[in-house]
Amino acid sequence: MVAGEHWHASLSGDIEVRINKAALEYDSILILGPTFPHEVAGFSGGAKYLFPGISGPEMINSSHWLGALTGVVGTIGIKDTPVRKLIHIAAGMLKTPATLLGLVVEGHDLSGLFIGDYLSAWSAAADLSAQRHIQWVDRPYQRVLSCAPAMYDELWTASKAMYKLEPSVAIGGEVVIYAPHLEEVSRAHGKYIYETGYHILPYFLADWERYKHIPLGALAHSTHLRGSGHMQGGIERPNVKVTLASKITPEDCARLNLGYLDPATINIADWQHREDEGILYVPRAGEILYRVGKKGS
């Protein structure tokens, strides 16, 4: 949590927004950062660096839960989302002028730089990100080996290896998160995740009294990794099986409601060049969003 200061503004009633007080004390703010498809906001970047970037836990929890209610597949890589509207409403209350240097990067290369106000510059960056960071595929895959880079040292962040792929996976398919370096769920939120496990959104909504004490951000993360699905006769029916190949034990994977695969048994060559068979190998998951359809659809 950051140190903050409150102020009020009237929209359809009084609302309160918290932000680091330094944002109120300077003559101007310069935001510098990249834009990628994002599971909560649609696309990252722009005013998101203010809200929830230097805001308080209320904005983090409310924005992430709002994104969870919308669903990752219906949010990620989409420019106009409920959470982005929430971010811009909050940013509009900030009186300090803000300028954005919005980056679009591919690996270590700079693909675009947009400078201006946080609305127009972000909009242009998101448009370019949609061109460079979304891989469109003709038909859904049955199995995916999604390799999480070593920089994702917690499942909290390595979950990108699931939700950046789910829109390209067939119902009943499987995403294997291959992260042989990973041994931590989350240093900050792990106790909540182990308490709840990973579940689809309808699972939590069907038993809300049991889970309403859990921080909404943690619940949202659980749904992001577990993906979409439905309840049938009180039974959870995820659309995609999620299997973890990491240092997290089979027993802990069972507690987390995830499949387990011993990473030592995985031969990457067995997964490569098999797209025609419905099998996809992603060597560096996390930045590129895979989605079924045609570019621009």
Task: Tell me what pLDDT residue 109 has.
Answer: 97
Q: pLDDT value at position 295?
A: 80
Q: Taking CA 142 as the corner, what is the angle to CA 231 and CA 284, rounded to the nearest 5 degrees? A: 105
Question: Can you give the pTM of this predicted structure?
Answer: 0.93
CB-based contact 174:243 (threshold 8 Å): yes
Asked whether 166 and 196 are in contact (CB, 8 A), the reply is no
**Which residue numbers in the chain have pLDDT < 50?**
1-12
Tell me which architecture the domain covering 5-132 has in CATH: 3-Layer(aba) Sandwich (3.40)
What are the residue ranges spanned by the domains of the chain? 5-132, 135-292
Residue with tokens 């291959």: 178
Say which residue the tokens 């909050």 belong to. 90
Contact 159, 165 (CB under 8 A): no
pLDDT tens-digit readout, 142-160:
999 999 999 999 999 999 9
Q: What CA–CA distance (Å, rounded) separates 213 from 50?
A: 26
Give the fold, CATH level 3, of 135-292. 2-enoyl-CoA Hydratase; Chain A, domain 1 (3.90.226)
Q: Which CA distances in Å does 13 have to 9, 162, 256? A: 8, 38, 40
